[in-house]
Amino acid sequence: MNRISLTLMLAAALAATIGCSSKNYVRQQTTPLINKTNELDDLTAKNSKEIKDVDQRAQAGIQGVQTKAAEVDQKALAAGKQADEAQTLANNATQRVDTLTNTVVNLDNYHSVADTSVLFGFNKDNLTKQAKEELDQLATSVTSTKGYIITVEGGTDSVGPADYNYDLSQRRANSVIQYLASEKQIPAHKIYLVGLGKDKPVESNKTSEGRKKNRRVEVHLMTNTTGTAPGQAPNTAPAPTANNNPPSSM
């Protein structure tokens, strides 16, 4: 009985030893695999996150490029529209110049219907109240005048450099042109700028009164139609033809 018990105990001890050894062996073999699997899971999760981040940046970049492309398209369309408008304005300006050139073939064929001379303060280019009243009076003759043009000639006194005076005389003439066009609805292409500067004084620049009269813009309402202008003898000058010589330089 003791021998059988001893045998059983030895067998149990041997089985326990073998079981422990098997478990240790399995543990030793499977632990690296488990660790490797965990590392792969972590790496996969990391790669997935990075791929997602790259995809988000790519989508944002694509969206940004599309937005920029749309902006460029809009700017291109706007630039094209502006170019078309500029071309239209240029064509209109060319037509007006052609019309004016054909009309003003020779100023000798025109006679004055009304004229005025508006004065300016020293180194000033703004219209005074009196200057506007004189332009208003001249403008009243426009509606009853056919085939008309308006010539505008700016002037200055002799004080100051020539270049500055030319610029000043042009600003004075432009003030008259702008007033007639905006306030009296006279088409700008009907207004003809024929001279500027201090080269044509109406009085001597040696006196203050003479210099005051030279700070002026002379405005003439002229027509090439036959007939008698108010206060003038009949004009018999022929109407402009294609064979007339062009006007001399102003």
Instruction: Return the minimum-mean-pLDDT range out of 117-126, 177-186, 192-201.
Output: 192-201
Based on the fold, state whether residues 57 and 75 are members of the same structural domain.
yes
The domain containing residue 55 runs over which residues? 1-103
Q: Are 21 and 111 within one domain?
A: no
Specify whether the CB–CB gap between 176 and 127 falls below 8 A.
yes
**Domain co-membership, 165 together with 219:** yes
Is the predicted pLDDT of residue 141 greater than 80, yes or no? yes
pLDDT at 138: 94
The neighbour count for residue 20, using CB atoms within 10 Å, is 10
Domain membership of residue 209 (yes or no) is yes
In this structure, is residue 68 part of a structural domain?
yes
What pLDDT band is residue 85 in, cutting at 50, 70 and 90? confident
Residue with the larger pLDDT of the pair 59 and 30: 59
Q: Per the structure block, which two tokens stand in for 75?
A: 């700017």
Tens of pLDDT, residues 99-111: 455 544 556 678 8
CATH number at residue 134: 3.30.1330.60
Which helix (DSSP H) or strand (DSSP E) does residue 29 occupy? helix 2-103
pLDDT digits (tens, 9 = 90+) for 40-71: 777 777 777 778 777 777 788 788 777 877 88
Tell whether 151 and 48 lie within a shared domain: no
Within-domain flag for 248: no
Average pLDDT over residues 70-97: 69
Relative to beta strand 216-223, strand 111-119 is antiparallel
Within-domain flag for 246: no
What gap in Å lies between CA 98 and CA 81, rounded to an integer? Answer: 25
Q: What's this model's pTM, rounded to 2 decimal places?
A: 0.48
Residue 231, domain member (yes or no): no
pLDDT higher than threshold 80 for residue 127: yes
**CA-closest candidate to residue 216, choices 228, 192, 234, 200:** 200
Top mean pLDDT of 24-28, 92-96, 132-136 is at 132-136
With beta carbons less than 8 A apart as the criterion, state whether 201 and 169 touch: no
Among 4-8, 78-82, 103-107, 235-239, which is the least confidently predicted range? Answer: 235-239
Amino acid in the structure at residue 231: G
Verify that 8 and 64 share a domain, yes or no.
yes
Residues 215/122, Cβ–Cβ less than 8 Å: yes
Higher pLDDT, 194 or 141: 141
| Structure tokens that stand for 39 in this block | 């590392």
Identify whether residues 126 and 31 lie together within a single domain. no
Q: Domain check: are 114 and 219 in the same one?
A: yes
Reported as half-sphere exposure (CB side, CA atoms, 13 A), residue 117 has a value of 10
Question: For 115-119, what is the mean pLDDT?
Answer: 93
Note whether 92 and 141 are same-domain residues.
Answer: no
